[in-house]
Structure 1
Amino acid sequence: MRTGDELPPLEIPITRTLIVAGAIASRDYQDVHHDPESARQKGSPDIFMNILTTNGLVGRYITDHFGPRTVLRKVAIRLGAPNYPGDTMVLSGTVETVEGTTATVRIVGSNGIGNHVTGTVTFSLKDAE
């Protein structure tokens, strides 16, 4: 792992099931995450993914790439374009810094309408047991 290394992209199909399951799992019962009619009444064309689901997917992207020794230390993300059902989010990352066994990766998750998520993830690789 070196500064400037690019992680391979990860494509995540955005399904209604993923959006609703993520909202339920994170105990986010806001109607815009499960009720299309309520979402439309509030100005959205459909239900959309919540930030906690996005946060979990960003963490998964890092841990899937770097393996089971990965310990997330800090996840700092910002949402942009919503993730709607039927779209695909593509996560990509670039290693920004490496200090010993700790690194920071800049993350971008884009979909058909723009960047859904941007930010950084700082993590460490724990010693093999």
Structure 2
Amino acid sequence: MNAGDRLPPLEIPITRTLIVAGAIASRDYQDVHHDPELARQKGSPDIFMNILTTNGLVGRYITDHFGPRAQLRRVAIRLGAPNRPGDTMVLTGTVEEVDGDTATVRIVGANGLGDHVTGTVTVRVPAGAGDGLSTGAGGDSV
């Protein structure tokens, strides 16, 4: 892994099931994540993904690329455009810095409305954890 390396994109179809399941799994019972009518009453055209689901998808993107021994040390993300049912989020990443076995990766997850998530992930890849090549992240979908 070297500064400037680009991770292959990962396309994630944003389904109603993914949004609701992610909210339930993270115990986020806010109605805007599962009830379209109540989401509309609160000003959103439909339900939308919560930050914990997004955080999990970002972590998956990194570990899919760097391998099962990769250790997430820090995840710092910010949400922008909402992920709504029927859209696709495309995650991309660029290695910004490498210090020994630790890298900082700039992450962007874009959908039809713009950038859903931006941020950085610090990941440690222990020696012998693989060559840092993608193990299936590119082009796969959820």
Instruction: Tell me the TM-score normalised to structure 1 length.
Output: 0.98
Name the SS for the 2:89 alignment partner. Answer: strand
Percent of counterpart pairs with the same letter? 83
Name the SS for the 1:37 alignment partner. Answer: helix
Gaps (5+ residues) in structure 1?
A: none
Structure with larger RCO (C-alpha < 8 A, sep 6+): 2
CA–CA separation in structure 1 for the residues paired with 2:7 and 2:92:
6
CA–CA separation in structure 2 for the residues paired with 1:73 and 1:123:
5
> Residues 80 and 115 of structure 1 are in contact (CA less than 8 Å); yes or no, is this contact kept in structure 2?
yes
Gaps (5+ residues) in structure 2?
A: 130-142
CA–CA separation in structure 1 for the residues paired with 2:60 and 2:103:
16
Q: 1:128 Cα shift?
A: 4.2
Give the match for residue 66 of structure 1: 66
Give the match for residue 135 of structure 2: none
> Residues 74 and 122 of structure 2 are in contact (CA less than 8 Å); yes or no, is this contact kept in structure 1?
yes
Q: 1:125 Cα shift?
A: 1.2
CA–CA separation in structure 2 for the residues paired with 1:62 and 1:71:
9
> Residues 101 and 127 of structure 2 are in contact (CA less than 8 Å); yes or no, is this contact kept in structure 1?
no
Q: 1:49 Cα shift?
A: 0.0
RMSD: 0.9
Q: How many residues align?
A: 129
2:97 corresponds to which letter in structure 1? T
CA–CA separation in structure 1 for the residues paired with 2:72 and 2:41:
38
CA–CA separation in structure 1 for the residues paired with 2:98 and 2:20:
36
1:19 correspondence with 2:19 = yes
CA–CA separation in structure 1 for the residues paired with 2:75 and 2:20:
22
> Segments of 4+ in structure 1 off by > 3 A?
none
Name the SS for the 1:4 alignment partner. Answer: coil
Over residues 79-125 of structure 1, what are the superposed CA-to-partner deviations in whole Å (9 max), with x where a residue is unaligned? 00000000000000000000000000000000001000000000101
Name the SS for the 1:3 alignment partner. Answer: coil
Over residues 33-91 of structure 1, what are the superposed CA-to-partner deviations in whole Å (9 max), with x where a residue is unaligned? 00000000000000000000000000000000000110000000000000000000000
